[in-house]
């Protein structure tokens, strides 16, 4: 089967992938269900139309579940700077493992590095030597290995950039290799031979390794068979092929690009606050060369991060995705402690410096740091969230006002987000947006499609920066969760006169470190799949800047239907589509009469129907069945202003109808 995508514009490569998944959309129809009749009336007149916000749907990235370290950030070495064990040496150096035993090698940590914020290095005292008959080294040599984050994905023919710092007053003969998890399969190798002089002060070396095989559970080995003492620091292995060449794992970043997010909220969530102040994400420690970054313990989600994915990289990711960055700043309040009020000015100063880093002149103090990092042009930072969920804290508002006043004085155009909910009454402090987090059961999420119906139309707008069905309904990402969330998002579209932005949470989970369920994208070292909630978001990716049309959907004694109508324009092809979305959250097949009035342009006779459903509400995708619950697209031949369609039980369906008598055809070989 082949689609003529040139005719169909950007509707979209994702849908092409899911087409392959074929006929399972009809599974539900095999089980006879009761039928419910319903009507769906759309007022598509220009008088009733309303333009929806440009940045309505985006993404929220938090360093949770190893989303970044061991995930989106493509660095393969875990604890590359040996700092994870703390500053007091000797320290533990997990997950590095010694190769050899105490009679042939001793491994420990030392505070010996010249890198200012990053002093700990690894010390290998090699006691064996192949030239010494009394203590020869084992045949594979001795040294250390790093398993990465639950195995490194090394692929045949791919090139990996290796950087490491070496110090030794002895001559050395080191082998740096990528191998299988037991060391038996050698995928790539590089040898470093040097006399006593060459590494007598810390020296950075860089080389490429090209793999001759594929193994998704590989490790990096640094071994030798030569007696002497060698210190190692800042050992990095990065795939050379990353998303837009900026260090993001390509498969994962592409999944983000596919849902066309208009904003990227980062770095958390609770991660942005830290459980303890000392462990919070502080942007200044995450910029500059990666070797200089101290890294920090993510004490909210309990793992170390080398901060390869730092402030600069978040801004870069937003730019690469065509999304606006939304920076969640530390407002002085962590989960378990907070700053002494006397320290508040320095926190405010820190944020102003951060804004200068993001968008200041290339010559400015912090703009020049950005420039040195390779980005002289300012990033488009226009949104700042003053914290995450601290509104209930007694110091929140006082702190908030200090940040708000200072930011607005220096950057009047900056949109400031409070985390006090303003949906039920007026806020008692100034803000451009207020943040709302919605975590609830599926049925409650579906009913929350009305959450903003009664909200005042004056005052700051709402930003639902975290929403997800959680608890039993959610499993690890079920169909029912996705359907309930679709209903919720339709309510947000209807209220998008006062609802400015929304994003689901969390975005990613490394399957080896599930801290929070459910998540939109699941991955391990080499594979990835979207949960039904991820695929549900594909139905909303054209809503940004689209034109909303009021509509009513009615079915007697069947409160399980919600719908939404909009027109959107594919700017690449200049084609316009009327998009009708219907969620059927009940068990009946719905015989739906759709009627569109007020259109100023004609509907072409063709169109596309996309459906997300499955045989059970609890159905999930998995590594074994990644496409169990994914959208399935079929062409419809008789589109028009009135249409009778069958809507499957427990489904999300959309109809994309081409407007202005443009030719929409699908060629099937
Ligand atoms: O999304 C997971 C967590 O839920 C976020 O860190 C926090 O903001 C919320 O409580």
pLDDT at residue 558, rounded to an integer: 96
Question: Do the Cβ atoms of 396 and 390 come closer than 8 Å?
Answer: yes
Question: Do the Cβ atoms of 313 and 247 come closer than 8 Å?
Answer: yes
Distance 471 CA to ligand 1 centre (A): 14
Substitution candidate for ligand 1 out of 268, 468, 474 with most atoms within 8 A of CB = 268
The number of helices, as runs of H, and strands, as runs of E, in the chain is: 12, 35
Q: Which of 284, 277, 299 is nearest to 344 (CA)?
A: 277
pLDDT at residue 606, rounded to an integer: 78
Whether 12 has a pLDDT exceeding 60, the answer reads no
Question: pLDDT tens for residues 597-655?
Answer: 999 999 987 789 999 999 999 999 999 999 999 999 999 988 999 999 999 999 999 99
Ligand 1 binding pocket includes 385 (Cβ within 6 Å): no
Residues 6+ positions from 300 with CB-CB distance below 8 Å? 64, 268, 269, 270, 271, 273, 274, 275, 335
Ligand 1 binding pocket includes 281 (Cβ within 6 Å): no
For atom 5 of ligand 1, the residue with the nearest CA is: 269
Q: Is the peptide bond before 238 cis (omega within 30 degrees of 0)?
A: no
Ligand 1 binding pocket includes 503 (Cβ within 6 Å): no
Average pLDDT over residues 21-28: 35
Q: How many CA atoms lie within 13 A of 491 on its CB side?
A: 21
For residue 149, what pLDDT band results from cuts at 50, 70 and 90? very high
For atom 2 of ligand 1, the residue with the nearest CA is: 506
Whether 311 has a pLDDT exceeding 60, the answer reads yes
Look over the chain and give the mean of its residue pLDDT values, rounded to a whole number. Answer: 93
- CA pair distance 435, 500, nearest whole angstrom: 10
Query: What percentage of the chain's residues is helix, strand, coil (to nearest 5)?
Result: 20, 35, 45
Ligand 1 binding pocket includes 270 (Cβ within 6 Å): yes
Question: pLDDT tens for residues 647-665?
Answer: 999 999 999 999 975 444 4
Question: pLDDT tens for residues 205-260?
Answer: 999 999 999 999 999 999 999 999 999 999 999 999 999 999 999 999 999 999 99
Judging by DSSP bridges, how do beta strands 152-154 and 186-194 pair with one another?
A: unpaired
- CA pair distance 360, 357, nearest whole angstrom: 6
Distance 393 CA to ligand 1 centre (A): 16
The DSSP bridge partners found for residue 73 are 69, 248
Token digits of residue 434: 């207020």
Judging by DSSP bridges, how do beta strands 263-266 and 324-329 pair with one another?
A: parallel
For residue 571, what pLDDT band results from cuts at 50, 70 and 90? confident
Token digits of residue 555: 């079915």
Atom of ligand 1 nearest to the CA of 62: 6
pLDDT at residue 114, rounded to an integer: 87
Locus of tokens 């202003």: 641
Whether 165 has a pLDDT exceeding 50, the answer reads yes
Ligand 1 binding pocket includes 542 (Cβ within 6 Å): no
Token digits of residue 130: 């192949």
Locus of tokens 């099937």: 668
Ligand 1 binding pocket includes 516 (Cβ within 6 Å): yes
Question: Do the Cβ atoms of 150 and 81 come closer than 8 Å?
Answer: no
Atom of ligand 1 nearest to the CA of 506: 1
Token digits of residue 319: 């730019």
Alpha-carbon dihedral sign for residues 602, 608, 612, 614: positive
Question: Do the Cβ atoms of 584 and 628 come closer than 8 Å?
Answer: no
Q: What is the pTM of this model?
A: 0.94
Q: What is the dihedral of CA 595, 540, 501, 513, to 10 degrees?
A: 150
Whether 121 has a pLDDT exceeding 80, the answer reads yes
């Amino acid at each position: 089967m082949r689609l003529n995508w040139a005719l169909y514009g950007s509707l979209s490569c994702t849908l092409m992938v899911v087409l392959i998944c074929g006929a399972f959309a009809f599974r539900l129809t095999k089980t006879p269900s009761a039928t419910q009749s319903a009507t769906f009336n759309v007022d598509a007149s220009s008088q009733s139309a309303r333009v929806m916000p440009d940045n309505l749907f985006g993404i929220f990235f938090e360093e949770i579940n190893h989303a970044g370290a061991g995930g989106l950030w493509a660095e393969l070495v875990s604890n590359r700077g040996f700092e994870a064990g703390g500053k007091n040496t000797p320290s533990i150096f997990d997950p590095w493992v010694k190769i050899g035993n105490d009679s042939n090698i001793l491994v420990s940590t030392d505070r010996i590095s010249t890198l200012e914020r990053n002093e700990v290095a690894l010390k290998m005292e090699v006691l064996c030597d192949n030239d010494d008959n009394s203590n020869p080294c084992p045949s594979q040599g001795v040294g250390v290995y790093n398993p990465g984050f639950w195995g490194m994905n090394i692929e045949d023919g791919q090139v990996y950039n290796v950087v490491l710092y070496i110090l030794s007053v002895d001559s050395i003969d080191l082998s740096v290799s990528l191998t299988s998890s037991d060391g038996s399969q050698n995928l790539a190798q590089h040898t470093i031979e040097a006399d006593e002089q060459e590494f007598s002060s810390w020296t950075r070396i860089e080389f490429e390794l090209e793999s001759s095989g594929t193994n998704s559970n590989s490790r990096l080995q640094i071994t030798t068979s030569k007696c002497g003492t060698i210190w190692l620091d800042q050992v990095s292995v990065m795939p050379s092929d990353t998303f837009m060449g900026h260090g993001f794992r390509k498969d994962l970043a592409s999944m983000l690009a596919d849902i066309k997010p208009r904003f990227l909220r980062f770095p958390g969530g609770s991660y942005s606050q830290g459980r303890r102040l000392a462990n919070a994400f502080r942007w200044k420690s995450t910029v500059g060369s990666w070797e200089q970054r101290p890294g920090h313990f993510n004490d909210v989600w309990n793992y170390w991060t080398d901060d390869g994915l730092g402030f600069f990289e978040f801004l870069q990711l937003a730019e690469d995705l065509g999304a606006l960055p939304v920076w969640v700043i530390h407002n002085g309040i962590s989960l378990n402690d907070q700053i002494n009020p006397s320290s508040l000015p320095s926190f405010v100063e820190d944020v102003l410096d951060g804004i200068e880093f993001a968008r200041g002149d290339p010559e400015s103090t912090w703009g020049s740091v950005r420039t040195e990092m390779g980005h002289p042009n300012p990033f488009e930072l226009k949104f700042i969230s003053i914290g995450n969920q601290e509104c209930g804290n007694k110091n929140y508002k006082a702190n908030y006002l200090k940040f708000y006043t200072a930011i607005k004085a220096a950057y009047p155009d900056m949109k400031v987000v409070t985390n006090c909910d303003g949906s039920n009454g007026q806020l008692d402090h100034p803000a451009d947006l207020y943040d709302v987090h919605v975590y609830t059961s599926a049925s409650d999420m579906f009913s929350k499609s009305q959450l903003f119906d009664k909200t005042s139309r004056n005052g700051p707008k709402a930003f639902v920066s975290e929403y997800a069905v959680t608890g039993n309904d959610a499993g690890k990402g079920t169909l029912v969760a996705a359907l309930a969330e679709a209903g919720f998002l339709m309510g947000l579209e209807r209220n998008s006169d006062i609802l400015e932005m929304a994003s689901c949470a969390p975005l990613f989970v490394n399957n080896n470190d599930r801290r929070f369920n459910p998540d939109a994208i699941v991955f391990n070292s080499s594979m990835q799949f979207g949960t039904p909630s991820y695929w549900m978001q594909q139905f909303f990716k054209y809503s940004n800047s689209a034109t909303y049309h009021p509509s009513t959907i009615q079915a007697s004694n069947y409160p399980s239907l919600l719908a939404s109508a909009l027109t959107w324009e594919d700017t690449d092809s200049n084609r316009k589509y009327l998009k009708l979305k219907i969620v059927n959250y009940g068990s009946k097949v719905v015989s739906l009469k759709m009627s569109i009035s007020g259109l100023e342009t004609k509907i072409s006779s063709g169109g596309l129907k996309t459906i997300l459903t499955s045989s059970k509400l609890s159905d999930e995708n998995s590594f074994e069945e990644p496409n169990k619950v994914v959208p399935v697209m079929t062409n419809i031949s008789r589109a028009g202003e009135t249409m009778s369609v069958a809507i499957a039980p427990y489904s999300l369906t959309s109809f994309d109808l081409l407007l202005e008598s443009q030719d929409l055809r699908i060629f099937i070989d």
